[in-house]
Amino acid sequence: MIRLTFTGDILIEPEQKEAICSHSDGFDTIFRNILSSFSLSNYIIGNLETPLAGEELVYSSHKWSFNTPDCLAESLKKAGFNLLTTANNHCLDRGKIGLLNTLKTLDRYGLEHIGTYAQKSDKEKIFIKDIGGLRFAFLSYTYGTNASLNGEYLGEDRYMVNLFQDQEREIPRKKQYLTRIMNKLHDIFKEKSSYSFHALSYKKQVRKDIQKCRQKNADYIIMCMHSGGQYNNTPDPYTLSLVKWLSKQDIDFIIGNHPHVVHLGKKTGKKRFVAYSLGNLCSYPGSETAHHENDSEVLADYSIILHLNFYEKSDTVEVSFEICKSIVEEDRIARIYSLYDLICKEEDLILRGKLLNDNERIVRKFIDNQEDTITLQKEYNFN
């Protein structure tokens, strides 16, 4: 068996960073309790949603702008991560210099990365990994870079970030009106999609990358998609239309991140699968960033560890998953735990019942099934 493992967002809140700085194990302590979930994995992929830009560019202190000490990369390497996707809305939080520093840091710690680039020639290379005799092509794209907040716009250096569409910016009213008309015409005469007219040049680039993957004899193409709103209980219309479009392309797996909560997964063929959102791997429950009114509904302290299992001579790919939970402990550090392990060890019947209920809700949400009986398991097969 060849197993690829994907995790949710790796994002360090200011509260977490402050608590970690006074702990002797550093960031290692966050991941220590989920290492068993990676024991059978041949290759582990995570979404790095924070720059590692260096102390001189100021570490995270604002709830929507991030920069984490470089030693996070070392801890991710120790935990077993192999590939980090870097195309996301926080990749320019410390500007283009911060983006370049992040890539240098990842290189220094031997972590592979895709989605953001130091040179145009780097972007034009397709990342293909030979794992157990199978060739996997990985792509990483984002809906945007928070440009309207950080003021970092790309021009001739647009190659630095893989984008699904234009960066966010305030559009003059006349242009908004014209764009709406053109999008409406596109809806009428082409596919009906909010991933629309103004994104045509970006669609062309995605198709070009997919074509390169096949030309390089990729057995499987995996799109790591950064899109989907914030703490919304279900995928937003833009992401639904984006996934609809991507699913029509020659892509085998679409793995989504960004909403910081778990959304549904869906099999789209014997060897095809979509995960709209795996949630926030490094959640910090109660943080200023994570605070929202519908906590009890979206269960933001839980995330999915997704496994794609490939078997020799099999005409299907087995999809399985585990659930993990972040808990802020007495030392103010949020550590990640296997939900199964937490339930098995919990002696308080009321707390155990709540965890069991949360487990059922997350499983039902991810498999999009409200009818079948859900039994407690460490790892669930996605049927």
Rounded Cα distance between 178 and 184, Å, is: 10
pLDDT tens series, the chain, 383 aa: 999 999 999 999 999 999 998 888 899 999 999 999 999 999 999 999 999 999 999 998 877 899 999 999 999 999 999 999 999 999 999 999 999 999 999 999 999 999 999 999 999 999 999 999 999 999 999 999 999 999 999 999 999 999 999 998 755 444 545 555 544 544 444 444 455 555 889 999 999 999 999 999 999 999 999 999 999 999 999 999 999 999 999 999 999 999 999 999 999 998 999 999 999 999 999 875 555 555 667 899 999 999 999 998 888 899 999 999 999 999 999 999 999 999 999 999 999 999 999 999 999 999 999 989 999 999 999 97
C-alpha 95: how far from chain center: 21
237: enclosing H helix or E strand: helix 237-247
Assigned token pair, 318: 């087995």
Q: Are 59 and 97 in contact (CB under 8 A)?
A: no
SS3 172: coil
Q: What pLDDT is attached to residue 181?
A: 55
Number of separate domains in the chain:
1
Q: Are 304 and 312 in contact (CB under 8 A)?
A: no
Return the residue matching tokens 């519908």: 294
The CATH number that applies at residue 359 is 3.60.21.10
Other Cβ atoms less than 10 A from the Cβ of 110: the count is: 10
Characterize the bridge pairing of strands 334-338 and 134-142: unpaired
Kindly report whether the global pTM for this prediction surpasses the value 0.85. Answer: yes
Q: Structural domain of residue 360, as residue ranges? A: 2-381
Computed on alpha carbons and rounded to an integer, the radius of gyration of the chain in Å comes to 20
Rounded Cα distance between 241 and 228, Å, is: 11
150: enclosing H helix or E strand: helix 147-150
What are the C-alpha distances in Å from 11 to residues 48, 104, 211, 363, 378?
Answer: 7, 19, 32, 23, 25
Q: What pLDDT is attached to residue 50?
A: 97
Other Cβ atoms less than 10 A from the Cβ of 187: the count is: 14
Q: What pLDDT is attached to residue 174?
A: 46
Q: Are 290 and 284 in contact (CB under 8 A)?
A: yes
Q: What pLDDT is attached to residue 196?
A: 57
Q: What pLDDT is attached to residue 61?
A: 80
